[in-house]
Amino acid sequence: MQKRPLGRTGLQVGRISLGTMTFGEQNTEAEAHRQLDRAVERGVDLLDTAELYPIPPKAKTQGATERFIGSWLRESGKRDKVLVATKVVGRSDSRWFRDDGSKPRLDRRNIEEAADKSLARLGIETIDLYQVHWPDRPTSGFGAVPTRWKSPAPDADEVPIEETMEALAALVTSGKVRYVGLSNESGWGTMRYLAASERGLGPRVHSIQNAYNLLNRTFETALAEIALREDVGLLAYSPLAQGFLTGKYANGALPEGSRKALFDRQQRYERPGAAEAVDAYVRLAAEFGLHPATFANAFVINQPFVTATILGATSVEQLDRSLDAEDVLWTDEMQAAVDTIHQRVGNPAP
């Protein structure tokens, strides 16, 4: 698999990584282990998880994903083959994350507790990439790159980015974390983190994990230039737009066992214009002789500001289809065809 730099860490990672948020909800521990085995067999060397997972978040299942990865690391003996990335939740009303039942915040107490629990569940001594899952401050929309601005009222007790950075610095100094990154962050927030690190207030951020796919290219508006010039590469989640870009929901279809059938949480990808855009991209994939899942992932990994795409699957078969994107020769013709559709349909699912 082709490798790319992970920020300025000096590490190289494969341009396809494995997302794990189905482990513990849609996937059993045995199924999770099979996916992990296949992913590593095919060159994946970055595993992405979070204290929040699995999805949808529930007190009963929270942390199961990290535990499944931990049991695989222990049983497979492949800790030295992979980098492990996890995340600390941002400000939340969910009280089950912290031992004292308080609402999570991005301050030192919360971040230290979250990291210690993730380390225990994963069964490792150091987290390779520790990411802030979402900001402490209110934002205009989850994913932080809206196409229409809404002005959220600031919270009176927002944790300053500088304070969050100091907490992350303590984790790095202690050896519990190697490197740090962001997720669901805006251009403004990313530059504030970078400015804080330049003032010596904490470690440099090396990655940003935001949604990016054929239906949502808003990352390109401001964050792409930051990613390239500041070496804060994109770890792109939802490359298949939660399955919509496979075409499996076309014409109102509702496959048994699909995320939409189970949880009905995909409203982001059901906005006006989204179905038309999906149909156009699925047809385009067929014109190039590719499965739509392979085509959609190939688009993502061939953008210059992307460090890696984060695959999500519930079966090895689905995983293989997305991993096949590594073997696609992405051409100027393909990019031009995608851009032509995007000019017409825009970003219907930011």
| Active site positions, annotated | 53
- Neighbouring-strand partners of residue 17: 310
- The C-alpha atoms of residue 256 and residue 169 are separated, in whole angstroms, by 45
Question: What 3-state class would DSSP assign to 224?
Answer: helix
Question: What 3-state class would DSSP assign to 117?
Answer: helix
**Most distant pair of Cα atoms in the chain: their distance:** 56
- Neighbouring-strand partners of residue 23: 27
Residues in the chain, overall count? 350
**Residue type at position 239:** P
- The C-alpha atoms of residue 325 and residue 164 are separated, in whole angstroms, by 36
Task: Report how many helices (DSSP H) and strands (DSSP E) the chain contains, helices first.
Answer: 11, 10
Q: Tell me the backbone φ, ψ of residue 343, rounded to 5 degrees.
A: -60, -30
- The C-alpha atoms of residue 154 and residue 170 are separated, in whole angstroms, by 27
The radius of gyration of the chain's CA atoms, rounded to the nearest angstrom, is: 19
For residue 2, give both structure tokens. 């082709």
- Neighbouring-strand partners of residue 234: 208, 306
